[in-house]
Structure formats: C-alpha cells, structure tokens
C-alpha cells in the first residue's frame, strides 16, 4: 500500500546548507558576530527570520526593524548568488535514483522545506516534476520544529500523517516530523540527529530495497 514520502530540501536533496553557512557567516561578521559549525547546526531547517534572531542572540546584539530587514535581504542576495551556480550535478548522491524509484512504484512524493527559495532551487536542479506537491516557506506560517510544513504536505498528498516518511538533515526538522507522528529518517550524523527513527550518512548508505522496508515500517 501507499505511504507519503516527504523530502526536506537543503541538506537532503542538495547541499545548499554550505551556501547558507557562508552567507550567514558573512552577514554575522558585518555586525561583529562570529559563530561556529556547531552553532550552524542550530540554524539548519530554521526560517530566515529565526536564524537572524538566533545569530543576534549569540552576539548579544540588537538591530532596528529596518536594519533587521535590510540584513535579511542582504543575506538572501548573497545566498541566491551562490544558488545560481547550482546544476543537476549538485543533487546529493543517491537522491535522484531514490526519487525515480519512488515514482516508478507510484508512491506519493512531496517537498517539505522551510526555504522561500525552494521552487527556483528545484528548477535549477531539474527535478521539479518529480514532486506531486511542494510545500515551502512561502506556504506555511509556523517554522520547523513546528510540524505545519509536513502536515500540510501530507494533507496535500492525501496520506495520513502516520503513513508518512520524512527525510531530514536538521534537528528542528526531525523534531517537526516526530511531532507530526511521522517516521523520521535523518540524513547526517547519528550524534546530531539521535531523535530520528533511523539515521544514514547518505542515501547511498541505505540498505538494498529500502523503499520496500519503509513501506512496511511503523512509526515507533
């Protein structure tokens, strides 16, 4: 029978996380704040607004509303310049085949991303058509770890939440999937994503016939 397969974008389908890191670090530097890789983990999957709030809190800094908005725009401009270099070759290993296999099996597929830039990124990668529905930062009001992005995606697919599988690279995203009662598959390090039902370093590390296994898997 069918399940709903929901994919995060940044860090799962494409490594735009490195672009976000570069753009946020440049921005932080411009206001005299420095942050490290470990802190960056806390920005993954987190909306643009909340990311800047976190960075300001780390630096004990405040900005006027006007400055805040101009810094966000500046970050996005730098980020989009990096995104513009993306091609099909930037799809993370194993993901394209995984998506094609799901389609062949007639399984419903959704994108569930916090990003407001998700649609143009999928287009650059040439894989927009593989998704039955796309839910991103332009469609939801509550950011991960709130489950809204994933429950909206499931509802649009017409699949019950407990029959959905979410692929996530971020702590906030894994928490969002769990809060939705969905099976959470972490992509990254076990130590970081220990709240996920299973963790793999990449799609290429998943066992043979993993989709069939997932179709039988029940939420813990």
Strands 198-200, 183-187: pairing is parallel
58 belongs to an annotated ligand binding site: no
SS3 68: helix
Which residue's beta carbon is nearest to the bound Mg ion?
Answer: 11
Rule CB under 5 A: choose which of 4, 13, 19, 45 binds Mg ion.
45
Query: Which residues in the 61-100 window bind Mg ion by CB under 5 A?
Result: none
Torsion angle (degrees, nearest 10) of CA 58, 61, 67, 69: 30
Annotation says 132 is catalytic: no
Q: What is the DSSP string of 152-211?
A: HHHHHHT--GGGEEEEESSHHHHHHHHHTT-EEEEES-TTTTTTSSEEESSGGGSPTTHH
Rounded Cα distance between 56 and 31, Å, is: 9
Among 4, 6, 7, 8, binds Mg ion (CB under 5 A): 8
46 is in an annotated binding site: yes
Rg (CA), the chain: 17
Does residue 117 have a known ligand-binding role? yes
Q: Which of 71, 169, 182, 186 binds Mg ion (CB under 5 A)?
A: 169
9 annotated as belonging to a binding site for a ligand: yes
* Count, residues near Mg ion per rule CB under 5 A: 6
Q: Is 10 a catalytic residue?
A: yes
Using the contact rule CB under 5 A, the part of the chain among 11-19, 51-59, 130-138, 185-193 near Mg ion is 11-19
Residue 117 touches which member of Mg ion, ligand G16, none, C-beta under 5-8 Å by kind = ligand G16
Q: Cα separation of 15 and 91, whole Å?
A: 8
Residues serving a catalytic function are: 8, 10
Binding site for Mg ion (CB under 5 A): 8, 10-11, 45, 169-170
């Amino acid at each position: 029978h069918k399940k709903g397969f929901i994919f995060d974008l940044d860090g799962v389908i494409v490594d735009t996380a490195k672009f976000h890191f570069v753009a946020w670090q440049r921005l932080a530097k411009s206001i005299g704040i420095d942050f490290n890789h470990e802190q960056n983990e806390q920005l993954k999957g987190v909306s643009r607004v909340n990311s800047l709030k976190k960075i300001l809190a780390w630096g004990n800094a405040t900005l006027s509303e006007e400055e805040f908005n101009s810094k966000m725009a500046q970050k996005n401009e730098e980020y989009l310049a990096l995104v513009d270099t993306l091609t099909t070759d930037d799809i993370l290993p194993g993901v394209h085949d995984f998506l094609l296999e799901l389609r062949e099996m007639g399984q419903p597929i959704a994108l569930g991303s916090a990003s407001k830039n998700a649609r143009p990124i999928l287009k650059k990668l040439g894989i927009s058509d593989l998704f039955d529905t796309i839910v991103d930062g332009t469609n939801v009001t509550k950011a991960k770890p709130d489950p809204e992005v994933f429950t909206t995606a499931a509802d649009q697919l017409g699949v019950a939440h407990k029959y959905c599988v979410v692929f996530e690279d971020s702590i906030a995203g894994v928490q969002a999937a769990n809060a939705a009662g969905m099976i959470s598959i972490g992509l990254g390090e076990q130590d970081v994503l220990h709240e996920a039902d299973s963790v793999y370093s990449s799609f290429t590390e998943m066992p043979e016939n993993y989709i069939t296994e997932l179709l039988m898997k029940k939420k813990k």
